[in-house]
Amino acid sequence: MSALIIFGLLMMLMLTGMPISIALGLTVLTFLFTMTSVPIEAVALKLFTGIEKFEIMAIPFFILAGNFLTHGGVAKRMIVFASSMVGHWHGGLGLAGVLACALFAAVSGSSPATVVAIGAILLPAMIKAGFPKSFGAGVITTSGALGILIPPSIVMVMYAVATNTSVGALFMAGVIPGFLLAMFLGLTTWYRARKNNYPRQPKASVATRIKAFRDSMWGLLLIVVVMGGIYSGIFTPTEAAAMSAVYAFVVAVFVYKDMGLKDVPKVLLNSASMSAMLLYIITNAVMFSFIMTNEQIPQTLAEWMLAQGLGPIIFLLAVNVLLLLAGNFMEPSSITLIFAPILFPMAIKLGIDPIHFGILMVVNMEVGMCHPPVGLNLYVASGITKMGITELTIAVWPWLLTMLGFLVLVTYVPELSLWLPRVMGML
């Protein structure tokens, strides 16, 4: 009963268009004022302590690093490199876009940021090269989603925080699914480009490729800093995020020199503002899940579901449908933070691996980012291409279908996610 009231209220408030964080917060307050004996001061306390966790601090650091990379010319050099490698195949710059997104995803933790970094440079170039606008928009919108699947990933940090799983193991679990999805998206691009005979790049010489690689190497090295740093035990994930921010700053300002020292405060401010927005959602979502726990809602739901005799297969199907529905209205951080604490106890009771569950949630979030009415990647792409959302929606369909197929694969083949962290001894 209280679950229905809580969710009904939340839904109503969200539909007024107020920020999701405020809607979450007001739901909690209303509930506290009217229906529980939890002292109201606990709310203010949770608003501070809700994010008082070192793991969460990876988020601002990764955002900062991402901003330095975007402004510092790293994305541009990755595109040139990707294009020199695969630009001559069917799909040309489109295929290069998929590869560049995958490379950038390996240094950035956010999907919209990946769309911006790669799309803002590549999309105008694709149009100039003679690709239909919709093709380019479709490729980049969906490939940009790799940003949260290929580590590092802000959404994985949020899942880890919401469910107390290991950030490091989640990152490692995302590697193989990330590669696979990039390959599937590339295949879709290749197939459509071949069918429509889209333009290709001339084959780059070996010398050109080597030069492009060397130019982009400073950016690519960040993969070593983050993943290598975590797995060799030099850093904790949060420290790795901080180091990558410092590294990205050095590369942008002193190595590539695409950015001057005078631009640094602006990047800091923008990153702080973006991080604050996410941290604000986290705080309110933490309060929301605290209320749910206090009312024993996840526990009750889990018991109810077990009593129905639901097996893992049906449960995972239901989870995917539920999350895809949620993806219609909300962005990934909020979905993860609201739903993970509720679904997680059920998944555990059914014997589903927490890491596998996290990866399937992330892939599901990727799909949600690419379709309307609410899809951050779509908005970003629309901002870059000046295309309408409806037009873009049609443009992304072929890749979105690929992603849905991939979601089924990841959901029902846990080994895709679990094999690598297991051989690395992280499970």
Residues 225-254 binding another protein (CB under 8 A) are: 230-236, 238-239, 242-243, 245-246
Are the CB atoms for 118 and 104 separated by under 8 Å?
yes
**Contacts (CB under 8 A) with another protein, residues 21-40:** 21-23, 25-26, 29, 37-40
Burial-class residue 133 by CB neighbours within 10 Å (0-12, 13-18, 19+): middle
CA 24 to CA 1: how far, in whole Å?
A: 18
Let me know the angle formed at the C-alpha of 83 by 267 and 105, rounded to the nearest 5 degrees.
Answer: 45
Among 69, 74, 107, 121, binds another protein (CB under 8 A): 121
Binding positions for Na ion, rule: CB under 5 A? 105, 147, 150, 153, 327, 368, 371, 374-375
Residue closer to another protein (CB basis): 178 or 345: 345
Among 8, 132, 164, 415, binds another protein (CB under 8 A): 164
**DSSP track, 354-391:** HHHHHHHHHHHHHHHHTSSSS-HHHHHHHHHH---HHH
Among 129, 187, 223, 348, binds another protein (CB under 8 A): 129
Among 173, 380, 392, 395, binds another protein (CB under 8 A): 380
Among 5, 7, 134, 199, binds another protein (CB under 8 A): 199
Structure-token pair, residue 220: 């690519």
Residue type, 71: H
Residue closer to Na ion (CB basis): 25 or 147: 147
Among 187, 223, 268, 318, binds another protein (CB under 8 A): 268
Contact range with another protein by CB under 8 A, out of 125-133, 145-153, 314-322, 347-355? 125-133
CA 171 to CA 11: how far, in whole Å?
A: 32
Q: Is 20 in the site for another protein (CB under 8 A)?
A: yes
Among 44, 313, 321, 401, binds another protein (CB under 8 A): 44
42 binds, among another protein, Na ion, none (CB under 5 to 8 A by kind): another protein
CA 191 to CA 169: how far, in whole Å?
A: 34
Q: How many residues does the chain have?
A: 427
Are the CB atoms for 101 and 217 separated by under 8 Å?
no
Residue closer to another protein (CB basis): 267 or 316: 267
Among 71, 192, 356, 371, binds another protein (CB under 8 A): 71
Q: Is 55 in the site for another protein (CB under 8 A)?
A: yes
| R_g (Cα) of the chain, nearest Å | 21
E strands in 214-273? none
